[in-house]
Chains A and B, each alone.
Chain A
């Protein structure tokens, strides 16, 4: 350790720690003021002369995931020992171009959907006038359809009961409790209804080059579903896999796009569906989640990986989730055939294979999903 840094740290531990936290923030690890106080409080109980104790006491309070732990250790080493900076800071040049591209897609989508409201009134669904009347160019047009989609996906009666004044069953336990004041004559009945089972959605979206044209739609879909189904998780893949759940929870669309662009550095890359599915099977989806999870895969199925890997991972995934829904934007094209080897390998395991590439087809998809 650099002795001057050590001396500094001891003479002004608080200031030194705060300077370090400032550096952590620029490196992309958010340290809230409350956490800062917690960390400083923890320092009273450890030997700040001991580098390990000092580092761990801070880290326990500041980091909240294995990735953050790693980032913390790295920044710590750089800050106090002057180790070379090997990290790529988010928001670099690549990040900015990425954001530009996503922003562009978003604008395009708005145009596509605002310019042509007639698109919706072709009799494909009954509420066309409704929609045209209430059309607000600044509102998110997919929102309503996605809300319906979320409702379809998430409503499933559970075996557990919850109290409900107009429920269909009598809750004996609660009835007795309520009627203790009447000397146990059952004057009022407490009723209960079956609970609605929470469905967890895990969405795996293909953002490889071949999907570029569908990006505007894809972004809307991911954003909408993540915001309406808070417990769902969203991952994007090309040759790598990145979970963007937390990025999609950002407050504004602009912030979200910035975040996603910073996190996903393989946008428009190649495709490795098998690898992405494998990642899903080993990470996000575990045993025990089977009955409550629906996997939604959005991809055109063009893959340069091995088809047998895809088949194997799909079979594994099949056993781990309740339903697999595959949304294939190419399916809508008249020339479409299941020709891609990857797609063919995956077919046997898919419960619902559906086309969707814009708002209208998504509406159709929602109807199709009636019984998921």
Chain B
């Protein structure tokens, strides 16, 4: 295995991330650096589509370790997040042991053996053998219940989990933990306190252009420039869902596929579904002065809004 990548300086983090086509600004690079040194989880908040989840993927790729992902949802509980016993296999084991006196005597100890334990994401991350720490992504934590947050707090505070039948597992290598939240609700203060907090904003035009250039080198430079500027303008419009970087890249790919040379109002409307995902938003764009939008002017609020 190649030597451990250097995450101890801001510059080296930025270089490593850039080699994975991810443009990390100074704040993010410093956060990753400190997360490793202080062994603290990172909490990334921001609108959907600004590349929060991507940070974890890129970090896992940089470290060349598995990305262990826990997608949160309402009703997520410890069973699904931590571990579960494989009942079906246990029963099978018991049935087989019934016909063998020696096995039957050992049944009580053998039935709660590691082989019957199903590692769910949190336990999997803690038991990751190394040689490098795993990356644990806890995605959209704001979707989970508040009880789950409290539970998570317990696991993240000392990186250990107790399975009553077996014993306590303590992480040999505390994983890199990245939590993301779309901020649909305020998270527990205690959980935030445990983390390094960073608000991830939409990128600046320059940064966005650089992202397009990195991800889609085939796209014409002038066109990338136009796309980046247009996205800035669109984000200033009062849409229900402002387009994120994911939409920028999807649209750029579409332009590439369509072999577009320059962007016209007609083209913008025809491909609006790639950028805007709400019918009302598309209607809103249709009602705007598209020439002005393409020229970088923000249409005024209110006047173009219609009753649908």
Contact = CB atoms under 8 A, between A and B. Distances in A.
Interface in A30-53: 32, 34-35, 38, 41-42, 45-46, 52-53
Interface stretch (B30-38, B206-214, B264-272, B290-298): B30-38
A231 to B, nearest CB: 6
A32 B193 contact: yes
Given A180-B94, A308-B305, A309-B305, A66 B186 contact: no
A231 B90 contact: no
Interface in B250-288: 280
In this complex, the member of B85, B182, B302 whose beta carbon has the largest number of chain A beta carbons within 10 angstroms is B302
Interface in B232-263: 238, 240-241
Contacts of A245: 186
Contact of A41 (B38, B85, B98, B201): B38
Contact of A311 (B184, B199, B240, B307): B307
A287 B278 CA distance: 11
A27 to B, nearest CB: 18
A66 B45 contact: yes
Contacts of B26: 52, 56
Nearest to A43: B34
B33 to A, nearest CB: 7
A46 B197 contact: no
B305 A312 contact: yes
A233 B146 CA distance: 14
Given A41-B38, A177-B85, A198-B74, A312 B280 contact: yes
Given A53-B30, A282-B240, A160 B199 contact: no
B189 interface: yes
A302 to B, nearest CB: 19
A57 B184 contact: no
A184 B94 contact: yes
A69 B146 CA distance: 24
Interface in A235-284: 245-246, 278, 281-282, 284
A282 B90 CA distance: 49
B212 to A, nearest CB: 25
Contacts of A45: 33-34, 37-38
B172 interface: no
Interface string B1-43: 0000000001000000000000000110011011001101000
Nearest to B28: A56
B99 interface: no
Given A52-B26, A230-B146, A316-B240, A176 B91 contact: yes
B109 interface: no
B143 A288 contact: yes
Interface in A274-333: 278, 281-282, 284-289, 292, 306, 308-309, 311-312, 315-316
Contacts of B95: 184
Interface of A: 32, 34-35, 38, 41-42, 45-46, 52-53, 56-57, 60-61, 63-66, 69, 158, 160, 173, 176-177, 180, 183-184, 195, 198, 200, 230-231, 233, 245-246, 278, 281-282, 284-289, 292, 306, 308-309, 311-312, 315-316
Interface of B: 10, 26-27, 30-31, 33-34, 37-38, 40, 45, 74-75, 85, 87, 90-91, 94-95, 98, 111, 143, 145-146, 182, 184-186, 189, 192-193, 196-199, 201, 238, 240-241, 280, 302, 305-308
24 contacts: A32-B193, A34-B193, A56-B27, A56-B31, A60-B27, A60-B30, A60-B196, A65-B199, A66-B199, A176-B87, A176-B91, A180-B111, A183-B94, A195-B75, A198-B74, A278-B238, A281-B240, A288-B143, A289-B184, A308-B305, A309-B302, A312-B306, A315-B308, A316-B240
Given A66-B45, A173-B87, A309-B305, 11 more contacts: A41-B38, A45-B33, A52-B26, A60-B196, A65-B45, A65-B197, A233-B185, A282-B240, A308-B305, A312-B280, A312-B308
